[in-house]
Amino acid sequence: MNKAYPTNPSMTHLLGGDLGSSRNLRKLAEENPNARSVLLYKAEIQDRKHEILSNEDEYLKILNVVDQVLTQIEEQLKTQQEGGWLCCETFSIADINLAVLLQRLWELGFEDRYWSHGKRPLLEDYFNRVRQRDSFKLTIPNLQHHVKMIIMSQPPAYLGAAGAASLGAVLAVAYIFKKIIH
């Protein structure tokens, strides 16, 4: 397998999410005849995304297209004054769209592939400036939100077992401290 093809847990999550979403859309299509055609169309899109993510060659083609686009963006940033944004000195809808893409790539761990460590220094600086904006901070969920979403998506039995194990670990540490102190 090509090392450029991601085999990390986020990939497994993406693949499972696409299939789950497709199943949910098909179920909704059965329950809502008036919206059936639209929901089935969206389910087909999810199925196609799953096919792309499951096929190494197709997936690498997508990563290469993203690489080409980011190269063009790096070139565009060279034409802007220092501290400027994508199209002009004012933050615009183009910047919002790019910020969403960069944030998603960052969340998936692709910053090293695309812009970190001097690969695309202007894009790296750009993304750092975007992340400092108050509007960005208010819009993008923080780590606590992501952890809560992960926890809340787990089955109740798993949450109960994890809670019991955590409580057991805390009690064990407290017992050990008590023995050490006395």
pLDDT of residue 21: 83
CB 27 within 8 A of CB 40: no
Check if the beta carbon of residue 43 is closer than 8 Å to that of residue 22.
yes
How do the pLDDT tens digits run along the chain, 182 residues long? Answer: 444 555 555 555 555 555 578 888 899 999 999 999 999 999 998 888 888 878 888 888 889 999 999 999 999 999 999 889 999 889 999 999 999 999 999 988 899 999 999 999 999 999 999 999 999 988 887 666 667 777 777 777 776 777 777 777 888 888 887 888 87
Query: What is residue 99's predicted lDDT score, i.e. its pLDDT?
Result: 94
Query: Is residue 25 within 8 Å of residue 43, measured between CB atoms?
Result: yes
DSSP string, the chain: --TTS--SHHHHHHHHHHHHHHHHHHHHHHH-GGGHHHHHHHHHHHHHHHHHHH-HHHHHHHHHHHHHHHHHHHHHHHTSPTT--SSSSS--HHHHHHHHHHHHHHHTT-HHHHTTTTTSHHHHHHHHHHHHSHHHHHHS--HHHHHHHHHHTS-HHHHHHHHHHHHHHHHHHHHHHHHHH-
Return the pLDDT at 3. 45
How remote is the C-alpha of 17 from its chain's centroid?
A: 12
| pLDDT at residue 19, rounded to an integer | 58
What is the per-residue pLDDT for 2? 45
Q: pLDDT value at position 97? A: 94
